[in-house]
Amino acid sequence: MSHLDTNLIQLKNDLIQMWNLVSSQMEKARLTLINGDKDLAHEVRANEKLVDSFELKIDMDCENIIMLQNPVAVDLRFLLSVLKINYNLERIGDYANAIAKTVEHSEKPWPVEIIEGAKIPEMFYIAQTMIQESLAAFEKGDRKKINRLFAMDEKLDKINAEENSIITKLIRDNQDNTSILLDAFSIIRKLERAGDHITNIAEELIFYFDAVIVKHSKLQKLKQNPLKAPEKS
């Protein structure tokens, strides 16, 4: 086994550890919110430093391999994909940390009817499933799992699109919990964004496995169908 192969295997193992850590952070953030567990919130906040350390190490290892060992073809695609996957995982870790911070600073436990009414457990379930499915796709080279990630993200987007009216109604019916409901709205946005980051990871997996740049394919479709291009905000 070459020195490059050894380094790539170690890098893959490090990224898998990062993936599992971020998955654990999201699960602890969920339990923190549902159980009002501030001790667990502290744990999530402390582990954020470990997530950041992993990101820096993986980035530095990727850069060193590219500069010193001149990888080509699939090895280079792997390294470029790892750099972007690593960034997206770190952002998901940031959302878990922010959710834990919200609970940590909350003056009272969150009512179950608000958590469930805002569909937060459902969004957590979808986001966490996406994290695990994307990791399995990475480890096994499973294209079917990658395709399912896009469908799951559409479910998150659909729930998110309904949340304005849901939160408005909950505020009207629970005026004593307005601050909690505003925090709930922020958490919903973070879970929706977590889904977006996982779809970014899915696109990187497609690039790694099949040498297809999905963003370029999307751009080509927009050029072919300009009337369907999204409006600028």
Domain containing 131: what range? 3-216
What length is written for the chain? Answer: 233
Q: Specify if 163 maps to a domain.
A: yes
Q: Distance of CA 102 to CAs 32, 97, 184, 190, Å?
A: 10, 9, 9, 12
Please list the pLDDT of the chain residue by residue as tens digits (233 residues).
899 999 999 999 999 999 999 999 999 999 999 999 999 999 999 999 999 999 999 999 999 999 999 999 999 999 999 999 999 999 999 999 999 999 999 988 899 999 999 999 999 999 999 999 999 999 999 888 999 999 999 999 999 999 999 999 999 998 889 999 999 999 999 999 999 999 999 999 999 999 888 875 554 554 455 444 444 43
Q: Specify if 192 maps to a domain.
A: yes
Q: Specify if 115 maps to a domain.
A: yes
Q: What is the pLDDT of residue 225?
A: 54
Distance from C-alpha of 118 to C-alpha of 130, rounded to nearest angstrom: 20
DSSP state of 175: G
Q: Cβ distance 160 to 192 under 8 Å? A: yes
Q: Specify if 233 maps to a domain.
A: no
Q: Cβ distance 93 to 131 under 8 Å? A: no
CATH code, domain carrying 204: 1.20.58.220
Distance from C-alpha of 35 to C-alpha of 73, rounded to nearest angstrom: 48
Q: Specify if 186 maps to a domain.
A: yes
Phi-psi region of 141 (alpha: psi -120 to 50; beta: other; left: phi over 0): left
Q: What is the pLDDT of residue 108?
A: 86
Q: Specify if 124 maps to a domain.
A: yes
Q: What is the pLDDT of residue 232?
A: 40
Q: For residues 116-143, b (16+ Cβ closer than 10 Å) or e, as one string?
A: ebbbbeebbebbbebbebbbebbeeeee
Q: Specify if 232 maps to a domain.
A: no
Quote the pTM value: 0.91
Q: What is the pLDDT of residue 1?
A: 83
Q: Specify if 18 maps to a domain.
A: yes
Q: What is the pLDDT of residue 107?
A: 86
Residue 211, classified by CB atoms within 10 Å of its CB into exposed (0-12), middle (13-18) or buried (19+), is exposed
Distance from C-alpha of 20 to C-alpha of 179, rounded to nearest angstrom: 32
The number of distinct structural domains making up the chain is 1
Nearest Cα residue to 78 out of 222, 207, 213, 217: 207
Nearest Cα residue to 93 out of 45, 22, 43: 22
